Amino acid sequence: MCQNNQKSEIRNQKSTAFTLVELLVVITIIGILIALLLPAVQAAREAARRLQCCNNLKQLSLAALNHEEIHGFLPGGGWGYRWTGDPDRGTGKDQPGAWVFSILPYLEQQAVHGLGSDGDRNTITAAQRSGAFSRDQTPLTMFICPTRRKAVVYPRSLDRWYYNADNTSSAASIDYAANGGTNVAIVPSSFIQPSTIAEADSFQYPCQDATGVVFPRSEVTMASISDGVSYTYLIGEKYLCPDYYENGLDPHDDHGMYEGWSPDNIRFCNYDPPGIVLTPQPDTPGSVIWGAFGSAHAIGSHMALCDGSVQFINYSIDPETHRRLGNRKDGMTIDGKAF
């Protein structure tokens, strides 16, 4: 009787064990499931990042439209890349900082906007310089695409300086740019700017015939967008070379985000001359492209229109359609199904 019980226990023990073949089969199945699951997880994460990027642009466009509703014109382009925002100089032509600085109060960032206020709009004081430096070290998540990089302070290896702020070797970055238009010349004179506040009013600014919605000292009204607010770009994702995301060596991403008009915060839809259309481009290692929209997303980039809507523009968009969307007043029709 005892022997029979021992044999039964041995059989039960054997029946619960795995053979080597069974174990290999299980491991293989688990490996296949993981291989199938990882792309799905990555796709889901990218979908979430794209949604966040779209929401960022929605916030920025609504802030710009709130600015327009209160002041009667869209936020301007400032005086140039050697100037940063001055909270004592209001908005529009008198404001040396560009659209990023001007919309801060409409993003619940009044405290950041007010850094450097000294109560004196006509004198650049030490307090103003120091406060502007602190602002340059203040990243904001709604200005950064989560697919591309984090909202942190990045190096500025050329030790950038401004007329109205302390020098900086690091600064917050921006992944979005306003629509500068379609007729921008690639010449050094495109970036000339005043060197003093006294010179600002009489200075001959470049690009005053720009066809976009933001350019030096711009005050673009909704009425001047004659092609229609639903068919004109307002703000979009900007192209960057992935090699330079975090080191500040891209010449179009090498200043602070609160400065005046520059390729860091303004992008274009073609050059004139030679009239090359700049369709949105995917971020590409080893390739620096001056002035183009684009993104780190796989098939296209987000663009906010002047009505506040956000569209996902495919990289394969017809170049002429893209050019027309960048021009607020060319009088040419656009098929809404084309983008």
**10 within some domain:** no
Query: Looking at per-residue confidence, does 58 or 160 come out higher?
Result: 58
**9 within some domain:** no
Residue 1 has pLDDT above 90, yes or no: no
**4 within some domain:** no
The reported pLDDT for the residue numbered 21 is 75
| % of the chain with per-residue pLDDT over 90 | 72
Residue 290 has pLDDT above 60, yes or no: yes
- pLDDT tens, 205-226? 988 888 999 999 999 999 999 9
Lowest mean pLDDT: which of 30-34, 151-155, 227-231, 277-281?
30-34
The pTM of this model reads: 0.87
Number of residues in the chain = 339
Residue 47 has pLDDT above 70, yes or no: yes
The reported pLDDT for the residue numbered 252 is 87
The reported pLDDT for the residue numbered 279 is 93
How do beta strands 300-305 and 310-314 pair? antiparallel
The reported pLDDT for the residue numbered 93 is 96
The reported pLDDT for the residue numbered 312 is 97
Report, as an integer, the average pLDDT of 258-277.
85
Q: For residue 40, name the pLDDT band (cuts at 50, 70, 90).
A: low
The reported pLDDT for the residue numbered 203 is 94
**239 within some domain:** yes
**14 within some domain:** no
**Residue 31: helix, strand or coil by DSSP?**
helix
The reported pLDDT for the residue numbered 117 is 96
The Cα 322–Cα 324 span in angstroms is 5
The reported pLDDT for the residue numbered 131 is 97
The Cα 262–Cα 190 span in angstroms is 9
**13 within some domain:** no
The reported pLDDT for the residue numbered 4 is 55
The Cα 229–Cα 147 span in angstroms is 28
Residue 159 has pLDDT above 60, yes or no: yes
Residue 278 has pLDDT above 90, yes or no: no
Alpha helices in 20-79 (DSSP H): 20-71
**222 within some domain:** yes
Query: Looking at per-residue confidence, does 265 or 11 come out higher?
Result: 265
Number of domains in the chain: 1
| % of the chain with per-residue pLDDT over 70 | 90
Residue 195 has pLDDT above 70, yes or no: yes
Residue 272 has pLDDT above 70, yes or no: no
| Residue of 287, 275, 50 whose CA lies nearest to 175 | 50
* Cα angle, residue 161 at apex, residues 156 and 165 outer, rounded to 5°: 115
Provide the domain limits for residue 75.
20-334
Q: For residue 320, name the pLDDT band (cuts at 50, 70, 90).
A: very high
The reported pLDDT for the residue numbered 57 is 98
The reported pLDDT for the residue numbered 122 is 95
- The answer to whether the beta carbons of residues 147 and 297 sit under 8 Å apart is yes
Question: Which residues lie below 8 Å from residue 26, measured CB to CB, with a gap of 6+?
Answer: 18
- pLDDT tens, 111-144? 999 999 999 999 999 999 999 999 999 999 999 9
Query: Looking at per-residue confidence, does 12 or 195 come out higher?
Result: 195
**Residue 121: helix, strand or coil by DSSP?**
coil
**1 within some domain:** no
